[in-house]
Amino acid sequence: MTRPRHPQMPILVIDDEESILLSIDTTLQLAGFNNVICCNDSRQALALLQSRSPSCVLLDLNMPHLDGQSLLPRIHADHPDTPVVIITGTIDVDTAVHCMKSGALDYLVKPVDESRLVTAIHQALRFRDLHQENRALRLQLEEEQLAHPEAFAEIVTASPNMFALFRYIESIAPSPQPVLIRGETGVGKELVARAIHRLSGRTGSFVAINVAGLDDNVFSDTLFGHVKGAFTGAEGARSGLVEKAAGGTLFLDEIGDLNQGSQVKLLRLLQEHEYMPLGQDSLRISDARVITSTHADLWALQQQGRFRKDLHYRLRTHRLRIPPLRERKEDLAVLADFFADKASQSLAKTKPAMSAELLELLATHFFPGNVRELQAMMFDAVAQQKANNLPLEVIQSHLARASRDQNHPTNGSYGPAVLFPTPLPTLKETARMLVQEAMRRAGNNQSAAATLLGVSQQALSKRLKSQSQGPASPKAQPEL
């Protein structure tokens, strides 16, 4: 009787050494993987990928003709659902991490350990299945309406990108697997975590903690609790947050700042669902769903040896990114109105109207503090308002202070600085281009453009008038 193929789509092994191919094929066959294709010429790899659509790829880095580093981005671009495991002859961490950021799932070092190889294949196949499942869910939900809009009532938005994110959240909320939420400070990561909990159907509590700055002992005591006498001063037992989140959700904010010792303990909780209170020898079982968030680049921290690779993979079973406010400018009007209303109620004042000039002014700002920064700005403006008028000078003052802050850009993006042509323009030509760009970004609003340039509106008005009249003498040229 013919054995069924496992996996259904083949495992493709690309290596120029016949002995390595034979060794890997033998190991995989003994482990029950009987659908393996070996390729000893990297020039044939892309054609094989196109014709056979493998379930995963084992790729050697050092090969003649077309090396693995050149082949990897082409595989990832043409076959994004196909996980790639790198095989390298040397322990070059920088190269391995670079490959992983280019699309590789994992890497193995020659001579390849048999158990490590089998584990990597199992992981790659699970990754492919999950990736395809998530992709199908996204396609299915792309045009659908939210099934439970009430779960997102705390999140004020008019952004199509945010509603697409909500639909994805509805699809993964019932899953018991961890969720990693990425996003800059102030975008509302905890609000999203609470929405996931509400949609999960879990009857337990939502328990949140910011783990940044916690040393290992405080982390262990806070999460796992302790028994009486566990340490000096422990006069009674105390339950940890894991126990309080039983049947519910444990939200760990700023997970990228967690220290190495605590990372090991969290990994055990995720893998085995086990934990041990301080001073106790017996294990306890947790059924809490873990959601984490970070503003940091975990790939970069992993490369620096500050974040465990195995923990990173465990945390990112389901992952989502909350776009910063500068990427959803359509939210500025609804959020400004929402925060003005809240501030008015809090301060017992009449709610001010949102003028077109205010919204144009806000649209020029980079918002490094995101929604939280806009909230603080609107509360300050409402607090200083007289009668029913929102004082624009308060907003302008805030933006002017932000533009002087050298810690972040305020006029567009984190992209490169000014790119100068060859030959260099004159100072007069540069000033003209700068004014034109400021007016373009401000929608031809002089007040907003002046704020971007850090000058008064009168100075900008003189500059625009002189430019429209053509060349002027140096004495007549206004200064910016």
Query: What residues contact 125, with CB distance under 8 A and at least 6 apart?
Result: 7, 55, 56, 83
**Rounded Cα distance, 214 and 260, in Å:** 11
Average pLDDT over residues 393-422: 62
Quick one: pLDDT band at residue 436, thresholds 50, 70, 90? Answer: confident
Strand partners, 249: 206, 289
| Mean local confidence (pLDDT), 436-440 | 81
> What value, to the nearest 5°, has the Cα angle with vertex 425 and ends 420 and 428?
130
Secondary structure of 287-321 as H, E, C letters: CCEEEEEECCCHHHHHHCCCCCHHHHHHHCCEEEE
The pLDDT confidence band at residue 98, using thresholds 50, 70 and 90, is confident
Of 124-138, 150-164, 220-234, 287-301, least confident by mean pLDDT is 124-138
For residue 385, the SS3 value is: coil
| CA–CA dist 378, 36 (Å, integer) | 62
Question: Which residue would you say has higher pLDDT here, 302 or 132?
Answer: 302
DSSP-based helix, strand, coil % in the chain, nearest 5: 50, 10, 40
Structure token digits, residue 442? 């401000």
User: E-strand spans in 174-248?
Assistant: 179-182, 206-210, 225-226, 238-239
Which tens digit of pLDDT belongs to each residue from 6-18?
898 999 999 999 9
- 72 by Cβ neighbours in 10 Å (0-12 / 13-18 / 19+) ranks as buried
Rounded Cα distance between 231 and 403, Å, is 51
Query: What does the DSSP 8-state code read for residue 469?
Result: T
Q: Is the pLDDT of residue 56 over 90?
A: yes
Q: What pTM value is reported for the model?
A: 0.61
Residues 338-349 have pLDDT tens digits of 999 999 999 998
Asked whether residue 406 carries a pLDDT value surpassing 50, the answer given is no
The encoded tokens of residue 85 equal: 């495991």
Letter for the amino acid at 437? Answer: E
More confident residue, 289 or 366: 289
Read off the pLDDT of residues 275-322 as tens digits, 9 standing for 90 and up. Answer: 999 988 888 999 999 999 999 999 999 999 999 999 999 999 999 999
Looking at the predicted structure, is the pLDDT value of residue 109 above 90? Answer: no
Amino acid identity at 208? A
- Judge residue 394's burial from the number of C-beta atoms within 10 Å of its C-beta, 0-12 exposed, 13-18 middle, 19 or more buried: middle
User: Rounded to whole angstroms, how far apart are CA atoms 266 and 261?
Assistant: 9
Please give the average per-residue pLDDT across 25-33, as a whole number: 93
CA pair distance 324, 56, nearest whole angstrom: 34
Residue 259's pLDDT is 92
The yes-or-no verdict on residue 361 having pLDDT over 70 is yes
Q: What does the mean pLDDT of the chain come to?
A: 86
Residue-level pLDDT at 144: 61
Mean pLDDT of 237-254: 94
Number of other residues whose CB lies within 10 A of the CB of residue 189: 23
Highest mean pLDDT among 104-108, 278-282, 332-336: 332-336
Rg of the chain's alpha carbons, rounded to an integer? 28
What tokens appear for 335 in the block? 């959020």
What are the pLDDT digits (tens) for 383-399?
Answer: 998 877 788 888 888 88
Angle among Cα 120, 121, 125 to the nearest 5 degrees reads 120
Give the pLDDT band of residue 197 (cuts 50, 70, 90): very high
* Domains of the chain (ranges, CATH numbers): 11-137 (3.40.50.2300), 152-323 (3.40.50.300), 326-404 (1.10.8.60), 417-480 (1.10.10)
Query: What residues form DSSP beta bridges with 181?
Result: 293, 320
pLDDT of residue 409: 45
Structure tokens at 97: 């991490």
Q: What is the mean pLDDT of residues 319-334?
A: 93
